[in-house]
Amino acid sequence: MAVFALIDGNSFYASCEMAFNPSVRERPVVVLSNNDGCIVAANAKAKALDQQLIGAQGRSLGSGGYYAATPQSMMYQPYFKVANLLQQHNTAVFSSNYELYADMSQRMHRIIGQFSPHQEIYSIDESFLELSTLPIEDFTHYARELKRRVWKWIGIPVAVGIAPTKTLAKLANHLAKQHAKMEGVLDWTSLSESTRILLLKQVKVGKVWGIGKKLSQKLEAQNIRTAYDLHQASPKSIRRTFSVQVERIVAELNGQACLALNETHADKQNIVSSRSFGRLVSDLDSLKQAVATYTATAAEKLRQQQCVCGRVSVMITTPRFQTQELQYRNVYQIPLITPSDNSALLSKVAIQALQQIWRPEFRYQKAAVILSTIRPKGVVQEDLFTPQANASIKSDALIQVMDQLNHRMGKNTLRLANCGLQRQANWKMKRDHMSPRCTTRWNELLSVRAVH
């Protein structure tokens, strides 16, 4: 029987900030999404503050917000709505520092990987391990050692759930964080049947991995309210009224593994690069720069996985929450006759797509570039009739040099001129509360002063 462990970093982004900034550890800490838009992470103190304010005011910090994950939480609420309140409570606020989080993530996954030869890196802050082939007597003890090592080496607290299926491992991980006495570790395989039932009944059906807002509403309408109810449901009727996915979840909750460990990450099938602008943008030139920049970012990822794409799409949109603005949203796709990974070519195509949908009368808030129909580079059918085969070989060589240089000298050392030359163009995103990228930039290293 398989044994899966799910390990995730607690409030990962907030923990990364606290790891390098001891002065904020005793304060509530929140981290904002790109463009300082929403709250996407909060440390324990900030979560406690949220609960306290809900209690005091009978409403959450961000009640009424569109993004509310649950009506009671400030998570995913627009920052501007709660900025004052957070400030009153001495909250440390950080803009997203993805360079830092990505680097910390790599370090964390590497340490976790020392605990099993079988690891699936599932997200920036989550890993699955498969443990059944290892001579482990006590999983709880093993997990505690893992937790201790990650904390000691990089200062990130993690929780561990262990179970015979991935879905149960996720559930155990969730419970491990809910119950203080578990100290962040729960081994489902060691529990008695009656304890399992007790715990399954504590978990709302919407908290089960794979059950989102829509499904939980439908399930609740059928009186399936907890993980226990779902695990008791008949797979056949679930399949009929819902889908194979939900049927699989029922099986997984019953200890029957349907989801395997994916140790090798598959090539991406779509690559998206999109950003909201720091300010609303109307002029075509700025939009062209933004679209060229996003295309360059996406194309670099495409080349990293040694693929080419067969289609480029561009989307632009006005600010959907600002009802006083004239609203407009459009997408344009251009198929490529010869699939490509060349930034120069792809950005030319992307700009053509942009010109198809740009209208001068609107003020835009966001643009996106989507590369799709992605295939491995070697196996692509060349177009016999493309006249500039030679030119394209030269251009590809140039792009290769650009990638190598940027890898060695740092991101954006060399870039295409159509991405714009100003450091602070009006379309670039807002990041008013950025912490230093202290693990990846020499000039942003942490300085430590000894106090005698």
Tokens of 403: 């990638």
| Rounded least distance, CB 28 to DNA, Å | 20
User: Whose Cβ is closer to DNA: residue 99's or residue 136's?
Assistant: 99
231 binds DNA, rule: CB under 7 A: no
- Core vs surface per residue 199-219: b (16+ CB within 10 A) or e: bbeebebbbbbebeeebbeeb
- Convert residues 42-61 into a mask of x (bound to DNA by CB under 7 A) and - (unbound): --------------------
269 binds DNA, rule: CB under 7 A: yes
Among 11, 15, 33, 295, binds DNA (CB under 7 A): 33
304 binds DNA, rule: CB under 7 A: no
* Positive/negative CA dihedral, 278, 283, 286, 287: positive
38 binds DNA, rule: CB under 7 A: yes
- Core vs surface per residue 59-78: b (16+ CB within 10 A) or e: ebbbbebeebeeeebbbbbb
Among 139, 142, 209, 364, binds DNA (CB under 7 A): 209
CA 167-168-171 angle, to 5 degrees, is 90
| Rounded least distance, CB 138 to DNA, Å | 27
User: Whose Cβ is closer to DNA: residue 190's or residue 245's?
Assistant: 245
Scanning 75-83, 188-196, 406-414, 439-447 for contacts with DNA by CB under 7 A, the matching segment is: 75-83
Sheet containing 307-317, strands listed edge to edge, beginning at the edge strand earlier in sequence: 271-281, 364-376, 307-317, 329-340
| Residue from 264, 250, 266 nearest 165 by CA | 250
User: Whose Cβ is closer to DNA: residue 394's or residue 411's?
Assistant: 411
Count of chain residues binding DNA (CB under 7 A): 55
Alpha helices in 65-116 (DSSP H): 79-88, 98-113
Instruction: Give the alpha-carbon dihedral of 163, 166, 172, 175, to 10 degrees.
Output: 180
The neighbouring-strand residues paired with 94 are 31
Among 154, 380, 429, 434, binds DNA (CB under 7 A): 429
271 binds DNA, rule: CB under 7 A: yes
- Ordered DSSP codes for 347-377: HHHHHHHHHHH--TT--EEEEEEEEEEEEES
User: Whose Cβ is closer to DNA: residue 113's or residue 398's?
Assistant: 113
Q: Is 327 left (phi over 0), alpha (psi -120 to 50) or beta?
A: beta
Scanning 52-60, 143-151, 242-250, 345-353 for contacts with DNA by CB under 7 A, the matching segment is: 242-250
106 binds DNA, rule: CB under 7 A: no
- Convert residues 83-102 into a mask of x (bound to DNA by CB under 7 A) and - (unbound): x-------------------
| Residue from 381, 313, 296, 310 nearest 339 by CA | 310
Tokens of 264: 């090798």
Scanning 18-26, 141-149, 361-369, 415-423 for contacts with DNA by CB under 7 A, the matching segment is: 361-369
Count how many Cα atoms sit within 13 Å of the Cα of residue 47 in the half-sphere of its side chain.
Answer: 9
Among 48, 52, 71, 80, binds DNA (CB under 7 A): 80
User: Whose Cβ is closer to DNA: residue 80's or residue 153's?
Assistant: 80
187 binds DNA, rule: CB under 7 A: no
Give Cβ neighbours of residue 205 (< 8 Å, ≥ 6 apart).
Answer: 211, 216, 219, 220, 224, 225, 226, 227, 229, 230
| Rounded least distance, CB 21 to DNA, Å | 21
| Rounded least distance, CB 181 to DNA, Å | 24
Scanning 109-117, 223-231, 360-368, 409-417 for contacts with DNA by CB under 7 A, the matching segment is: 360-368
Residue 78 DSSP code: B
User: Whose Cβ is closer to DNA: residue 52's or residue 66's?
Assistant: 66
Among 10, 20, 25, 34, binds DNA (CB under 7 A): 34
Instruction: Give the alpha-carbon dihedral of 117, 123, 125, 128, to 10 degrees.
Output: -30
42 φ/ψ angles, rounded to the nearest 5 degrees: -145, 135
**Could you tell me what percentage of the chain is helix, strand and coil, using 3-state DSSP and rounding each to the nearest 5?**
45, 20, 35
User: Whose Cβ is closer to DNA: residue 13's or residue 358's?
Assistant: 13
User: Whose Cβ is closer to DNA: residue 51's or residue 373's?
Assistant: 373
Which residues contribute to the site for DNA (CB under 7 A)?
Answer: 33-35, 37-38, 40, 65-67, 76, 78, 80, 83, 122-126, 170, 208-216, 243-245, 266, 268-276, 280, 297, 301, 311, 319, 321-322, 333, 335, 365-366, 368, 373, 429
